[in-house]
Structure formats: C-alpha cells, structure tokens
Amino acid sequence: MSGPLDGVLVVDLSRALAGPHAAMMLGDLGARVIKVESPSGGDDTRSWGPPFIQGSDGERHSTYFLSCNRNKESIALDLKSDDGRETLTALIERADVLVENFRPGVLDRLGFDTDRLHALNPRLVVLSISGFGHDGPEGGRAGYDQIAQGEAGLMSLTGPSPDEPTRVGVPIGDLLAGMYGAYGVVAALHERERTGAGRIVRTSLLAAIVGVHAFQGTRYTVAGEVPRQTGQHHPSICPYGLFHAADGPVQIAVGSDGLWRRIAPAFGLDRPQWATNPERVGDRDAVIAAVNEAFGRHTSADVLALLDELGVPAGKVRDLREVYEWEQTRSQGLLVDVEHAALGTITLPGPPLRFDGAPPREHAAPPTLDQHGAAIRAWLAT
C-alpha cells in the first residue's frame, strides 16, 4: 500500500475519534499504522452503537469503529503491565510518529513522558490531541465533541435561531482536530529532514473549532459583532442558502452582484433597492420571501435546470443514500471496498485525497482486536 508516507511507522495509542482519524489519514497516505488497544474491549468505539454488524467470528462489529480505523494493524497491550510497557517501548524505538489523545498527564503516569519518549527515540514526532489544550486553566478537562462544539462557540452559530443552538451532524470537532493533527505531523516530519530531531505537535478540539471560525471570528475580533444563528442562510451574502420549490428544497449561492443580475430577471426578482449585496443583506427577510415565492411556482428540477442554464451555483439536498449512489461520488474514489477479517467484503467511505499520476490504492480493512498482535511481536523480535 505505497503512498507519499511509505516507510513511515505510526504508533497509534489513541481511541475514540480525533486521534484515530489523524492516524487513519496518515495510513491513507501510505504510512504503516500500528494501533495499540486495551486487551479488555479495545478502542472505546468498538462498543459504540447500534448499528452493529454480526461477524463470522461471532462478535458484533461497530460501524462507528469501522469509520475511522482503515489501513491499520491492531495489537492489544496492557500498558499497566511490564510486558505491555516493554512492547510499547520497542515500538516507540522504531516509530517515526506516536499519536495519543489521553487526558493531559496520563501518558506521563504510564512512564512515557515527553523526555522519556525522546530519550528512547530522538527522531520521534509525537501528536498529542486534547480536549481543551494541554495547559492553561482548563487544560485537564476531558474532551468530547458535543461539549467542545458548545464551548468553542460552534453551536452558537448553528441552528434555526439563537433559541436553538444546534450541533453539527458529525463530530466535527474531533474530525477537525484529527485533520489539523495529521497536517502538523506531516510538517514535523518535513522539518525532521532538516534538523534530524522530532517534535511534539499539539492540538485540541477547542483549537480546531476556533481555527475554523473563519469570517465569523473576525466579525467579533475586528468588527466587535457577536455572530448568532441565521438558520439556512448566509449572514453576509444574500440570497445564499436553502429555498423551497414546489416539491422540495433547492440551494443557491448568489455570491456576486453579477450572479444576481442573472437570476433576478429570470425569476421576476428585479428591485432597484436590491441591486447590491449589502442592500440585499439589509433587506434579507424580504429577499428570502421573494425568492421562495418565485421558486414555489416551479418544481425543483425546473428551478435547478434554469439556474444551471443561467450559470448560477445551485444544488439539491441529498441524503447519504443518494450521496453514496451518486456517480460523481464514485468517480472521485470516495468509496472503497476492503476485505474485513470477520465481515468479508465491506464498502467504506474513502480518503478525500487523490494524487495525479498515482494508481488507485488498495486499502486495508479496519482490524479486529489484536488481529496483528502475534505478527507485530514477531517483527519486533527480529
């Protein structure tokens, strides 16, 4: 399974989602990822469900676990035992990257503080992901995605109104922390080529969510405005959001006055007071109502066809069945078939990166608990 990170060894001590997602991204890029799990049940997500799928081994397999552990090997180690610590030590000595998302201080208590890690392997890059940061007045707090979405302000921006703060439909804080973490690891590996030394890379759910506040952040830090929920519509562009045709929703993105000059006459929306985006934003409710009334006279298919003809960005709202059956999704390599040890051939959402000139990669299924333990121990003994 070659790739840009071919030859890089990652030891994944993490569980749940942020760390495993980061390690999976590195595995998708060709790194060898060895996932270290507790002998008593393994990664927490192995028990997260339903849905579960019954395997030929008689065990129930969590679809949650399957989502974030492809391209990994599994070894079960009790890190409170001498044997577990000795095996982990041997892995660290050979590793390029260590990924961990214990609460701050836990790895130290297990005997693997930063000084010892770099004494064992000066070239080791360590990715440490926490909930709210490794230091600061609340650095020791446990990190769970929905808590972080609320604490980091994301829920105050999401939902139909300020009375209904809403979480994003996926664990976006975990996923973003994993993505930022993998990005930091790749940068540290590149730096190591120059310095010969590893580095500690730190991120958190808090940092990852604040890192994507984007224009909402500068609304406060520069303009002094506290952003609030605006439902299905953009706070700074109009019309930009979800509207309703006669038979269902249609989304449009009128991101310039030039696009407005195309859509307005076609749908009877010409108003002199709506010539510019600031004017339309200032009269948002009336613009939204007028667009809904105009679209409501047509089917969604007809609206989308006319918008396509006009060159106005638009789209439908798909459920996941429609997304995964969509030929465009499949054409981008976003579904991969893998052979699971207990479930046989299964289809997983695939990695989002492609490299021109490289053939499509084969991917390994998420491992069963300790599936590769014996082979890894044999390799360490050589």
Q: Does residue 173 contact residue 144 with C-beta atoms inside 8 Å?
A: no
Distances (CA, A) of 132 to 25, 78, 205, 207, 210: 22, 27, 6, 7, 11
The length of the chain, given as a count of residues = 382
Q: Does residue 213 contact residue 155 with C-beta atoms inside 8 Å?
A: no
Q: What sign for the dihedral angle of Cα 56, 57, 59, 63? A: negative
Q: Does residue 225 contact residue 264 with C-beta atoms inside 8 Å?
A: no
Does the annotation count 319 as an active-site position? no
In this structure, what DSSP letter does residue 271 have? -
CA proximity to 29, closest of 96, 94, 76, 88: 96
Catalytic residue among 43, 96, 145, 174: 174
Residue type present at position 302 = D
Q: Which residue has the tokens 């106005």?
A: 312
Distance CA 355, CA 335 (A): 16
Residue 179 has which token pair?
């993505």
Residue 327 has which token pair?
């030929």
Longest dimension (CA), the chain: 79
CA proximity to 253, closest of 237, 273, 266: 237
Alpha helices in the chain (DSSP H): 18-28, 63-66, 82-94, 106-109, 114-120, 145-151, 172-195, 205-210, 214-221, 257-266, 277-282, 284-295, 300-310, 320-325, 327-331, 373-380
Helix (H) or strand (E) holding 93: helix 82-94
Active site residues: 174
